[in-house]
Chains A and B, each alone.
Chain A
Amino acid sequence: MSEALLDIENLSAGYGDFSAVNEVNMKVEKGQIISLIGLNGSGKTTLINTVAGLHRSSSGRVRFKDSDITNLSAEKIVSKGLSLVPQGGRCFNRMSVQDNLLMGSFPKAARKKSKETLCRVYELFPDLKEMRKRPAGTLSGGQRQMAAIGRALMACPDCLIFDEISLGLSPAVIKDIYRRIIKINQEENTSVILIEQDTQRALKASDSFYIMLKGKIVLSGKSSEIDSETLRKAYFGI
């Protein structure tokens, strides 16, 4: 059996005495799209923030490409090839779009080929090329998400995590962004984790899914095989 690209084992994390993530197990294979769905406050963001190094775990292990990345700092995890597009994009508002993208290739390995990657990103997002001199703070919500995705791509990641990429965007823009995510997945063979509240869209895009509730994974499986009733029950915990 081949080792998974990202392997989360019994991971727990919390804030003070409050445990937000409770012994979560999750596997992501190379080239797979995974969706992680759940209600507001179910612990999705804490889970992936812990994986990406923004939050410390209290127990458990995270393995990525056969090396232990548990509780490494965020910048070390990025240079290993795991990138997170945080909620709301979090662009550097006072910097130009191009500077935002170039920031994405800050890790040494990515810096060497930043010119080629930049061309590739502009190919994927022609809008960004047009706006490359504008400060990121002046972009619209959808454009800012694109810039954030572009920035994450600049690190040449093997695995990309999107935290609620569709939050606050119009259905047309969401559709467009999803189309590009799938394109990235197919053309670069990049594994993708989609964190979503919009169950239908996430399931449609992904190969397999995990449902999180109150800090625990309550259901997982192949996205195509789940019926809506089981899903609804797991999602709301009834």
Chain B
Amino acid sequence: MSDKRLQRPVRVLDSLPMLIVCIAVVSVLYAVCLLRIASNNAMRYMIQIFLYITMGQMWNLLSGFAGMTSLGQQLYIGLAGYSVAIATAKLHLTLGVGLVMSVAVSVVVALVLSLLLFRMEGMYFSIATWVVAEAFEKLFLSWKYVEQGSGLTIRVVPYPKIEEICAVSLTVCVMSIAVVYLLLRTRTGLGLTAMRDNLTAASAVGVNVFNHKLLVYVIAAAFTAVSAGIFFVNKGIVYPESGFGISWTVSMIFIVTIGGSGTVSGPITGAVIYVFLQELLAHYPGWSNIILGAITILVIFFLPKGIMGTLQEKLRFEIFSAKRFSFAKHK
């Protein structure tokens, strides 16, 4: 029976050697950016990957770890895009200030919305988050100050070099992974997982559900915002539809599902695959969503834990384990 499997412990690769490997990988990536080893084109992909990892990581933190499946993270993407645009084009501030502003705006909005959103659970929470994002889209569509539907240009002078954007994206990405990882390994992480598995039971054993949710929600808003801010610098213009559109959530769901929901390494894998797949599918216009959809469905049927989740189960190791103790998993 499965007894033999049970006795084999899960190897948790998060000790000193793992740390050294991580630092080495990150240093190499920084070197590739800053020393311009990679071509401009390669660097554009890297930026996209870093930013999608951050967004995926945050969506995973919400959905995979805390059980708050949001369909409305694009709210913070749109707010960030507009913050950067208003800061640079309207107020003539620097990009740095713009990014700080985007985080500040998102955190404030997240704090206010939490009062409303956290009254709901499960499905209702998901729908409400989406509705809020749509409401903001409608608001920006009819708001004269942000040029309504014709969009707002981002005017960054001097325009940052691509290697700078790349390095900043990498920093944000590394920070997001570190924050999620560290958060999960504190008592808070334990509380979050308990909440995801059974909300009532979690509050019964003394988990302050509201505070936990708030912490996660605000962190997710902040990181999603800053990565979106950088994204829009690259794009140069933000429209209500491009900022607050549901397609952002489509990407996040894809990245997390493919990579493996509830694992820290999942969104990293998922984001890399997503960016390359998008590039590949650009040659087959019209087919891209059909193929993304088919892949999602196939993964759900055949690799229900995503690529990293399944790999970890098969090979019995965990990178960036969220567990503070390593138990052999049942099943």
- The residues of A with any CB-CB pair to B shorter than 8 Å are 16-17
**Chain B residue nearest in CB terms to A18:** B330
Q: List 7 A-B contacts (CB under 8 A).
A: A16-B330, A16-B331, A17-B1, A17-B2, A17-B6, A17-B330, A17-B331
Bound state CA distance, A217 and B94, in angstroms? 77
**Chain A residue nearest in CB terms to B3:** A17
Nearest 7 A/B pairs, CB to CB = A16-B331, A17-B330, A16-B330, A17-B2, A17-B331, A17-B6, A17-B1
**Chain B contacts with A in 1-23, Cβ cutoff 8 A:** 1-2, 6
Bound state CA distance, A17 and B6, in angstroms? 10
**Chain B contacts with A in 161-215, Cβ cutoff 8 A:** none
State the Cβ distance, B3 to closest chain A Cβ, in Å. Answer: 8
Cβ contacts under 8 Å, B330 to chain A? 16-17
Cβ contacts under 8 Å, B6 to chain A? 17
State the Cβ distance, B79 to closest chain A Cβ, in Å. Answer: 42
Bound state CA distance, A17 and B1, in angstroms? 9
Bound state CA distance, A16 and B6, in angstroms? 12
Bound state CA distance, A16 and B2, in angstroms? 10
State the Cβ distance, B311 to closest chain A Cβ, in Å. Answer: 21
**Chain A residue nearest in CB terms to B1:** A17
Bound state CA distance, A229 and B2, in angstroms? 40
Cβ contacts under 8 Å, B331 to chain A? 16-17
**Chain B contacts with A in 132-165, Cβ cutoff 8 A:** none
Bound state CA distance, A17 and B331, in angstroms? 6
**Chain A residue nearest in CB terms to B331:** A16
Cβ contacts under 8 Å, A16 to chain B? 330-331
State the Cβ distance, A217 to closest chain B Cβ, in Å. Answer: 23
State the Cβ distance, A16 to closest chain B Cβ, in Å. Answer: 5
Cβ contacts under 8 Å, B2 to chain A? 17
Bound state CA distance, A84 and B330, in angstroms? 32
Cβ contacts under 8 Å, A17 to chain B? 1-2, 6, 330-331
Bound state CA distance, A17 and B4, in angstroms? 12
State the Cβ distance, A172 to closest chain B Cβ, in Å. Answer: 34
Bound state CA distance, A111 and B44, in angstroms? 68
**Chain B contacts with A in 227-247, Cβ cutoff 8 A:** none
Bound state CA distance, A17 and B2, in angstroms? 8
**Chain A residue nearest in CB terms to B2:** A17
State the Cβ distance, A166 to closest chain B Cβ, in Å. Answer: 28
**Chain A residue nearest in CB terms to B6:** A17
Bound state CA distance, A37 and B330, in angstroms? 30
Bound state CA distance, A17 and B330, in angstroms? 7
Bound state CA distance, A16 and B1, in angstroms? 12
Provide the B309-331 mask, 1 if CB < 8 A to any CB of A, else 0: 00000000000000000000011
**Chain A residue nearest in CB terms to B5:** A17
Bound state CA distance, A17 and B3, in angstroms? 9
Cβ contacts under 8 Å, B1 to chain A? 17
State the Cβ distance, B327 to closest chain A Cβ, in Å. Answer: 13
Bound state CA distance, A16 and B331, in angstroms? 6
State the Cβ distance, B5 to closest chain A Cβ, in Å. Answer: 10
State the Cβ distance, A222 to closest chain B Cβ, in Å. Answer: 37
State the Cβ distance, A14 to closest chain B Cβ, in Å. Answer: 11
Bound state CA distance, A71 and B303, in angstroms? 27
State the Cβ distance, A52 to closest chain B Cβ, in Å. Answer: 26
